Amino acid sequence: MGEDLSLPALGTLETICRELAVQAGELIVRERPEHLAVADTKSSATDVVTIMDRRSEQLLQEQLRARRPEDGILGEEGASVEGTSGITWIVDPIDGTVNYLYDIPAYAVSVAACVGDPRGEWESVAGAVFNPVSGELFHARRGGGAFLRSTGADPSVTALFVSGEQDLGQALTGTGFGYDAAKRAQQAQILTRVLPQVRDIRRAGSAALDLCAVAAGRLDVYYESGLNAWDRAAGQLIVTEAGGVVRGAGAQPSRDLTLAGPAVLVEALHDVLQSDPH
Ligand code: IPD
């Protein structure tokens, strides 16, 4: 495929990621219904969709179709467009939907431009994650570094770097849980192995923001099993561009496992996760 992946071309993709994440993020705050209800459920009764997940994805899809008609799109709420350019946009219209439902200000819109097969092996080349409540916009393009832009009344840009912590015993560790009860029981068991070996655990409720927290050194390390491509596509690039490592049980993150942080902590946590529980 002949897609242009030079830094300037990736800069164009990164700008689109930033603009659309902010546009959709502003929509979900501005037009949030006063009495927000669950519109539907997906994999389980607690895996919810709101009307605003759908409206946010619709906006993202319309904008991408207008701006990048040859690209593919994969979205959490069903967007699925085959492209011809070699670029696919992987979008999460609200990551942290349960937080959004409860009005807990830890949710985000995630937009990433990727190469490869979005349902197989793919790689993010540009991405942005926007928390519309804090006004924090995290973004990166491959080879260009990772940045946090504050979009409030006092705009600023900061380069991001993962934590310098080397000792897993001192590591503030983020994780999350899936929506399936059997899966959660497994995750709870794994947690009993991890918790005694780390400083403490945080479960914020948005994988995209967790990955950005790792990039910003607000979490030392993060792991989760069961993530979908849209949960991690932008965030994992932001971590690697902030000097971190993202891997799975093997070299690549996958639905089975995503681990993110400084290399030393990722390897130490990987060893704990893979150790025999008996
Ligand atoms: C979820 C969040 C959560 C993570 C779940 C995801 P959603 O995404 O990222 O933090 O633990 O695995 O499914 O459903 O809010 O888009």
Residue 201's domain is classified under what CATH number?
Answer: 3.40.190.80
Write down the pLDDT at residue 278: 57
Cα 24 to middle of ligand 1, angstroms: 18
d(CA 140, CA 155): 18
Sign of CA dihedral 133, 149, 26, 40: negative
Write down the pLDDT at residue 111: 98
- The verdict on 134 and 215 lying in the same domain is no
DSSP calls for 173-211: EE----S-HHHHHHHHHHHHHHGGGSSEEE--S-HHHHH
Write down the pLDDT at residue 276: 67
Does residue 230 belong to any structural domain of this protein?
yes
- The verdict on 126 and 196 lying in the same domain is no
CB atoms within 10 A of CB 103: 10
Cα 208 to middle of ligand 1, angstroms: 8
- The verdict on 153 and 186 lying in the same domain is no
Domain limits at 234? 168-274
Low-confidence ranges of the chain (pLDDT < 70): 1, 276-278
- The verdict on 47 and 174 lying in the same domain is no
97 CB near ligand 1 (under 6 Å): yes
206 CB near ligand 1 (under 6 Å): yes
- The verdict on 150 and 183 lying in the same domain is no
- Token pair 């928390």 is found at 131
57 CB near ligand 1 (under 6 Å): no
Predicted TM-score of the model (pTM) = 0.96
Does residue 2 belong to any structural domain of this protein?
no
Q: Are 222 and 211 in contact (CB under 8 A)?
A: yes
Atom of ligand 1 nearest to the CA of 96: 15
- The verdict on 147 and 12 lying in the same domain is yes
Write down the pLDDT at residue 50: 86
Pocket test for ligand 1, best of 206, 214, 219, 236 (most atoms within 8 A of CB): 206
Sign of CA dihedral 45, 46, 52, 55: negative
Give how many domains the chain has, as a whole number.
2
- The verdict on 143 and 34 lying in the same domain is yes
d(CA 91, CA 130): 12
